[in-house]
Amino acid sequence: MTVEHTLAADALTLAYGDRTIVEALSLAVPAGRITTIVGANACGKSTLLKSMARLLSPVAGHVLLDGKSIHRMPTRQVARVLGLLPQSPIAPDGIAVSDLVSRGRHPHQGPLARWTSADDAAIAGALEATGTAHLADRSVDELSGGQRQRVWIAMALAQQTDLLLLDEPTTFLDISHQIDVLDLLTDLNRDRGTTIVMVLHDLNLAARYADHLVAMVDGRILAAGEPASVLTTDVVRAVFGLESRIMPDPLTGRPMVIPLGRHHTITDADAPA
Amino acid sequence: MSVTTSAVQATDIVRAGRRRRRRRWIAVTSVLAAVALIAYALSLMVGQTFYSPAEVWGVLTGQRLPGASFTVGELRLPRATTALLTGLCFGMGGVVFQTMLRNPLASPDVIGISSGASAAAVTGIVVLGLGETPVSFLATGAALMAALLIYLLAYKRGGSGARLILIGIGVAAICNSVVSYVISRAAEWDLQTAMRWITGNLNDASWDKVLPLSAVMVLVVPALLLLARDLELLRVGDETASALGVRVERSRLLLIVTAVCLLAFATAAAGPISFVAFLAGPIAVRILGPVGSPVLPAGLVGAVLVLVSDFVAQYALGTRLPVGVVTGVLGAPYLVYLLIRSSRTGGSSL
């Protein structure tokens, strides 16, 4: 990657009508790293992601792509640099996998959509990278949830953007497919240097896969940085209103959150401090 | 990754798949175009009197042939041309709405856009005494207003497809009652003209009705065919399409305006021929499969539907009926089927 594209939010205020969702939020996305955003439902994390992808205009402040306000840039120009996978994209009925993935080439094509061998190679590369090449001619309708999510990621990869934003890419997937998708995104980050920003629900997965963890409460950032420094019992309490213990994951050394409920707890004396 | 395929092979698979879809689209569209042309040619040849292809060709190339010149040149040619063009317009306009709203029930003749055009046109003819071209523009304006009204009422608070359809059916009912009211007040000599606004009729097809329609089509159809690509991209959802570089709001607005123009001018020329816009899209999609834009194929299916239905309406039933009666008989059962299916599954797609 010769050019590292940068993405940042500068004093960003976002609202739906009168309802302010995000207020005066600033965030610099580290280039070439994986950033995950966590927070309770309705804390504004998806809204922030949408605005960073140019889908929602700010009430105040800017989203800066390479230092320029993204909302003043042409859609197609943005789409060559920044890709987004929304929470629930819609697969047209009966569409073939390779046909869906090929839509990722749109920002690179002229008004008459002449296909070049570069387009074919990009689509093939995206199918390969996501392990869906053998599904190329299948109908998306026939695929399992995990396969389908891979196909959507393939479409975003075919777009060949240096920045990729994903809104809860693991929702509705079982645990093995969640790991599968997150490993795939990590491969992408490590092999191609793609900057990834994603909203994740699962705190432990977010901490494991993030280089940079952002915790949001009520439309603002409570803490941001390395997962080990961000994920503390205080932060978990402030973000989710949940008491927890945090210990290093024996496998990865990353922080692991163990929620404290009212039941199923060994006596306090037995629990590690 | 259970199966590994080499990059070269994957590229070949991608290319082969794209070419296969492209070939299928071209083949289906060509066959539909051929069927539409054959239906057009037959409706020039066949009628109370049969004229051979040579005679029809003679009339088309400007020779004076006794009998044929009048029957083919003055009666059948404007009628068949109106059928062909209105069918194209209804089919293309309908499938744009059905695809954009991801619901076959969202056809302009179900959600009140065609009814808006009808109400304006009938008012223009009966109350204001306007000629063909002003009526066409009035109908277009009213259809756009109806589309805007439905859009505003349905999308005010983030509307769903089902809500839009229900509101559209309400708008259709209002517009249809305007049509009924105006016709009930019409002088008797206007009735024949005004009646075509109820079901659609080609009995008074004439060149001065074809002219504004064909002029608009020359401008609008190429634009719509270019926009068809954006329409295909919009099918993955607004947010995804926007992330792919589509200017969603602008594309949607242009699609609505072009589709409404075609529908309104076609309605002004032949009345709201029942259910053609509603039927053409799903039939075209069924024949075509998921291999590309259904806009042009749907237009061709629409043309075949109107041409064949008009032939049936004129000659097959002993008495001459308005074409809309025949298309209505075809469309109504399909509407009932869709309503039953959508109430069972809670939604439906094209």
Q: Collect all residues with Cβ–Cβ distance below 8 Å to B180 and sequence separation of at least 6.
A: none
**How many CB atoms lie under 10 A from the CB of residue B254?**
17
Whole-number average pLDDT of chain A: 91
Whole-number average pLDDT of chain B: 87
> For residue A102, which of B206, B229, B190, B171 has the smallest C-alpha distance?
B229
A-B Cβ pairs (cutoff 8 Å, strict) = 120
pLDDT at B340 over 90: no
Mean per-residue pLDDT for B68-83? 91
Lowest mean pLDDT among A87-96, A106-115, A236-245, B8-17: A106-115
> Is residue B111 a contact partner of residue B166, using CB atoms and an 8 Å limit?
no
| Burial of A23 from C-beta contacts in 10 A (0-12 / 13-18 / 19+) | middle
pLDDT computed for residue B348 by the predictor: 42
B102 pLDDT band, cuts 50/70/90, is: confident
Residues in chain A within 8 Å Cβ distance of B289: 94
Residue-by-residue DSSP string for A203-219 = HHHHHHH-SEEEEEETT
pLDDT computed for residue B185 by the predictor: 81
Q: Closest chain A residue to B157 measured between Cα atoms?
A: A17
Task: Using DSSP, state whether A124 is helix, strand or coil.
Answer: helix
Task: Find tokens 């689509």 and name the residue.
Answer: A123
> Is residue A21 a contact partner of residue A55, using CB atoms and an 8 Å limit?
no
Of residues B229, B246, B291, nearest to A75 (C-beta): B246
> For residue A202, which of A222, A172, A229, A228 has the smallest C-alpha distance?
A172
Mean per-residue pLDDT for B260-268? 90
Residues in chain A within 8 Å Cβ distance of B239: 50, 55, 84, 86, 89
B158 pLDDT band, cuts 50/70/90, is: low
Query: What values do phi and psi take at A19, rounded to 5?
Result: -85, 110
pLDDT computed for residue B160 by the predictor: 63
Q: Closest chain B residue to A180 measured between Cα atoms?
A: B1
Residues in chain A within 8 Å Cβ distance of B245: 75-76, 78-80, 106-107
Q: Could B2 and A134 be called an inter-chain contact, meaning their C-beta atoms sit closer than 8 Å?
A: yes
Which DSSP symbol is given to A174? -
pLDDT digits (tens, 9 = 90+) for B174-217: 998 998 888 888 777 666 666 767 778 888 888 888 988 999 99
Q: Could A99 and B2 be called an inter-chain contact, meaning their C-beta atoms sit closer than 8 Å?
A: no
Mean per-residue pLDDT for B265-282? 90
Q: Collect all residues with Cβ–Cβ distance below 8 Å to A26 and sequence separation of at least 6.
A: A8, A9, A10, A11, A12, A61, A221
Q: Could A83 and B243 be called an inter-chain contact, meaning their C-beta atoms sit closer than 8 Å?
A: yes
B247 pLDDT band, cuts 50/70/90, is: very high
Give Cα B320 to chain centroid, integer Å. 23
Of residues A91, A93, A104, nearest to B350 (C-beta): A93
Give Cα A51 to chain centroid, integer Å. 13
Q: Measured between CA atoms, how close is A24 to chain B, in angstroms?
A: 24
Question: B264 vs B189, which has greater pLDDT?
Answer: B264
pLDDT digits (tens, 9 = 90+) for A38-72: 999 889 999 999 999 999 999 999 999 999 999 99
Of residues A95, A123, A133, nearest to B290 (C-beta): A95
Question: Please, which contacts does B46-55 make with residues 24 or more away whose CB atoms are closer than 8 Å?
Answer: B46/B311, B46/B315, B47/B71, B47/B76, B47/B314, B47/B315
Of residues B226, B240, B349, nearest to A93 (C-beta): B349
pLDDT digits (tens, 9 = 90+) for A13-36: 999 888 999 999 999 999 999 999
Q: Could A137 and B17 be called an inter-chain contact, meaning their C-beta atoms sit closer than 8 Å?
A: yes
Residue of B5, B14, B20 best to disrupt the A interface, most CBs of A under 10 A:
B14
State the complex-level ipTM. Answer: 0.89
Q: Measured between CA atoms, how close is A259 to chain B, in angstroms?
A: 34
Q: Measured between CA atoms, how close is A140 to chain B, in angstroms?
A: 11
Both tokens of B252, joined, read 């949607």
> For residue A171, which of A202, A133, A210 has the smallest C-alpha distance?
A202
Q: Measured between CA atoms, how close is A80 to chain B, in angstroms?
A: 8
Q: Closest chain A residue to B285 measured between Cα atoms?
A: A93
B349 pLDDT band, cuts 50/70/90, is: very low
pLDDT computed for residue B249 by the predictor: 87
pLDDT computed for residue A171 by the predictor: 86
Residues in chain B within 8 Å Cβ distance of A168: none
Which DSSP symbol is given to A133? G
Give Cα B204 to chain centroid, integer Å. 20
Q: Collect all residues with Cβ–Cβ distance below 8 Å to B41 and sequence separation of at least 6.
A: B53, B56
Which DSSP symbol is given to A130? T
pLDDT at B257 over 70: yes
Q: Count CA atoms within 13 Å of residue B313 on its CB side.
A: 24
pLDDT computed for residue B346 by the predictor: 47
Q: Measured between CA atoms, how close is B80 to chain A, in angstroms?
A: 33
Both tokens of A61, joined, read 């402040």
Of residues B18, B226, B246, nearest to A102 (C-beta): B18
> For residue A40, which of A238, A206, A225 has the smallest C-alpha distance?
A238
| Burial of B204 from C-beta contacts in 10 A (0-12 / 13-18 / 19+) | middle
Q: Measured between CA atoms, how close is B135 to chain A, in angstroms?
A: 35
Residues in chain B within 8 Å Cβ distance of A71: none
pLDDT computed for residue B347 by the predictor: 44
Top-ranked range on mean pLDDT: pick from A109-113, B135-139, B239-243: B239-243
Q: Could B245 and A76 be called an inter-chain contact, meaning their C-beta atoms sit closer than 8 Å?
A: yes
Mean per-residue pLDDT for A224-241? 94
Cα distance between residue B328 and residue B119, in whole Å: 19
Query: What letter represents residue B307's amino acid?
Result: L
Q: Side by side, which strands form the sheet with A212-217?
A: A82-85, A163-167, A195-199, A34-39, A212-217, A220-225
Cα distance between residue B97 and residue B88, in whole Å: 15
Q: Measured between CA atoms, how close is A89 to chain B, in angstroms?
A: 6
Residues of B with CB under 8 A from a CB of A: 1-5, 7, 9-11, 13-15, 17-18, 21, 102, 226, 229, 232-233, 235-237, 239-240, 242-247, 289-291, 349-350
Q: Measured between CA atoms, how close is B130 to chain A, in angstroms?
A: 41
Which residues on neighbouring strands pair with residue A53, listed in sequence order? none
